[in-house]
Amino acid sequence: MTAAAPRTADAAGMDAGREHDPPRSRLRSIVGGATGNFIEWFDWFVFVSFALYFSPIFFPAGDRTVQLLQSAAILALGFVMRPLGALLFGLYADRRGRRAALTLSVGLMCAGSCIIALAPGYAEIGLAAPALLLVARLLQGLSVGGEYGASATYISEMSGRDRRGFWSSFQCVTLVLGQLAALCLLLALQALLSDAAMRAWGWRLAFLIGAALAVVVLRLRISLSETEAFRQARTTAAQPSAARHLLSRHRRATWLVFGLTAAGSTGFYVFIGYSQKFLVNTAGFSAMEGTAITASALLLFLLAQPLFGLLSDVIGRRRTMMLSFGLCAALTVPIMRALAVATDPVAASLLLSVLLLSFSGYSAIGAIVKAELYPAPIRALGVGLPYAIANALFGGLGEFAALWFKRIGHESGFFLFLALMMLAGLAVAWCLPETRDTGPMAEEI
């Protein structure tokens, strides 16, 4: 590894200032990184939330289920693009800078939303319509795939040594906020517009709003400062062969990131994504009750993220993550069983909240733990690529397993499966070094 470039007087002065400035002096940079993450996930979930309305526009007339399946297939292809996005953007962020990667990422998401909002339908241009939808979703898949590693790296490097856990937790906050905002926009448009208007053109407003918000964030990200860690490491920036180096030089860190993400993404997509369906299909709540229960629990979950991030700054990342996975492994089966027979919405909300709070010890600090495992020259790639691969392999596993066990009449088997995944996460967390105090990022300002 080559030596870092000599530091200029300005850079040295910047470091000195950063050591003594309070955390709010970096707030603008952290907001730029976190807000972009919100827009990325808002646009991503808008596609999911509004598929019922735009599917008939882009696909031939016929069975609605077939149209939704075609939209789901395009959604899945966008999901598969995430590892490629992580690879390309990780290399780009480690070579050209975190700011450059973040700017390009939100630019691609903006382009994808604009294409969907303005594209003619199947009745006007035939098969070119679903082709345009596919192109737009592939761009968004690349964007989301690249966003995680770049934003996790940027926020962690900008956060400062003493409160990295606290500030980096806002990455998870903005991710879930994006999901809630997309759902709230759907509810608002449904209240303001007739069903006919929603199907004809109302759904396009959602993508136009997403594109407009992305332009605002794009301008914000262009003006962001580059991290000092990247400036110091740019002479050793990642090359195209860096992907091979993840296993040859950083094998243990890469497998740790993969293992944490495999368990964490399974929990995330069940506790946050599948819980509303579980409350309706298994517990018997109405769709409105299920949404309200999930939303109330998610609100508490959001508020808890900075607290668990701060906890990791005090007691350490490893202990916080082991506590989280350990609680989830112990509580998943009894809480899921109780939720399955719950009849009171308040009780169901409290049960789900306990599960989400237990999971918060992972979700709040997952990004910072992964970033702290890698040196700056390969950090964005190291965080993003194994994360994206594990998400592609395990992201939908939880919901698939839930539906499969329910179909064969043994839904309690799913509760045990989920608990075992949390136990696997505990085993991986036990193997972690204490990244708060040791490792490549420990000495960075």
CA 257, CA 391: separation in Å to the nearest integer?
11
**Mean pLDDT, rounded, for 120-140:** 88
Amino acid in position 113: S
Q: Within 13 Å and on the Cβ side, how many CA atoms surround 244?
A: 3
Give the pLDDT score at 8.
Answer: 40
Confidence band of 63 (pLDDT split at 50, 70, 90): low
Whether 241 shows a pLDDT value over 60: the answer reads: no
Q: Nearest to residue 378, comparing CAs of 154, 93, 86, 83? A: 93
Per-residue pLDDT of 280-299, as tens digits, reads 888 888 877 887 888 889 89
Per-residue pLDDT of 404-439, as tens digits, reads 888 888 888 999 999 999 999 999 999 999 988 887
CA 100, CA 109: separation in Å to the nearest integer?
15
Do the domain assignments include residue 18? no
Domain that holds residue 279: 242-437
Which has more pLDDT, 258 or 141?
258
Structure tokens at 414: 């799913």
- Same-domain check for residues 133 and 282: no
The answer to whether residues 356 and 173 touch, using CB atoms and an 8 Å cutoff, is no
**CATH for 397:** 1.20.1250.20
Q: Nearest to residue 435, comparing CAs of 267, 308, 296, 319? A: 319
Structure tokens at 118: 């303005």
Kind plus residue range of the DSSP H or E element containing 100: helix 98-118
* Helices and strands per DSSP (H, E), number in the chain: 22, 0
Structure tokens at 237: 């920036």
Whether 345 shows a pLDDT value over 50: the answer reads: yes
Q: Is 342 left (phi over 0), alpha (psi -120 to 50) or beta?
A: beta
CA 100, CA 86: separation in Å to the nearest integer?
14
- Same-domain check for residues 207 and 257: no
Per-residue pLDDT of 354-403, as tens digits, reads 999 999 999 999 989 998 998 877 888 888 888 888 888 887 677 778 87
Do the domain assignments include residue 15? no
Do the domain assignments include residue 102? yes
- Same-domain check for residues 173 and 282: no
Do the domain assignments include residue 1? no
CA 54, CA 367: separation in Å to the nearest integer?
34
Amino acid in position 220: L
- Same-domain check for residues 189 and 254: no
- Same-domain check for residues 258 and 298: yes
51, 183, 308 from 190: Cα distances, Å: 14, 11, 36
Whether 248 shows a pLDDT value over 80: the answer reads: no
The answer to whether residues 259 and 428 touch, using CB atoms and an 8 Å cutoff, is yes
CA 389, CA 395: separation in Å to the nearest integer?
9
Amino acid in position 382: G
- Same-domain check for residues 346 and 427: yes
- Same-domain check for residues 197 and 254: no
Task: Say how far residue 178 (Cα) sits from the centre of its chain.
Answer: 10
Do the domain assignments include residue 105? yes
CA 116, CA 131: separation in Å to the nearest integer?
11
Domain boundary (169, 196, 224) is at: 224
Do the domain assignments include residue 427? yes
The answer to whether residues 37 and 221 touch, using CB atoms and an 8 Å cutoff, is no
Amino acid in position 312: S
Confidence band of 320 (pLDDT split at 50, 70, 90): very high
Per-residue pLDDT of 65-85, as tens digits, reads 565 566 667 766 767 788 888
Confidence band of 322 (pLDDT split at 50, 70, 90): very high
Angle at 305 between CA 302 and CA 307, to 5 degrees: 125
CA 37, CA 144: separation in Å to the nearest integer?
9
Amino acid in position 250: H
- Same-domain check for residues 36 and 182: yes
- Same-domain check for residues 408 and 266: yes
Whether 15 shows a pLDDT value over 90: the answer reads: no
- Same-domain check for residues 246 and 184: no
Whether 147 shows a pLDDT value over 70: the answer reads: yes
- Same-domain check for residues 217 and 270: no
Question: Is 102 exposed, middle or buried, given 0-12, 13-18 or 19+ CB atoms closer than 10 A?
Answer: buried
Q: Within 13 Å and on the Cβ side, how many CA atoms surround 309?
A: 27
Structure tokens at 175: 């991710």
Do the domain assignments include residue 7? no
Structure tokens at 235: 């002479």
Number of domains in the chain: 2
Coil, helix or strand at residue 63: coil
114, 162, 213, 302 from 31: Cα distances, Å: 24, 18, 14, 16
- Same-domain check for residues 200 and 331: no
Least reliable range by pLDDT among 131-135, 159-163, 281-285, 292-296: 159-163
CA 413, CA 333: separation in Å to the nearest integer?
9
Do the domain assignments include residue 9? no
Give the pLDDT score at 37.
Answer: 80
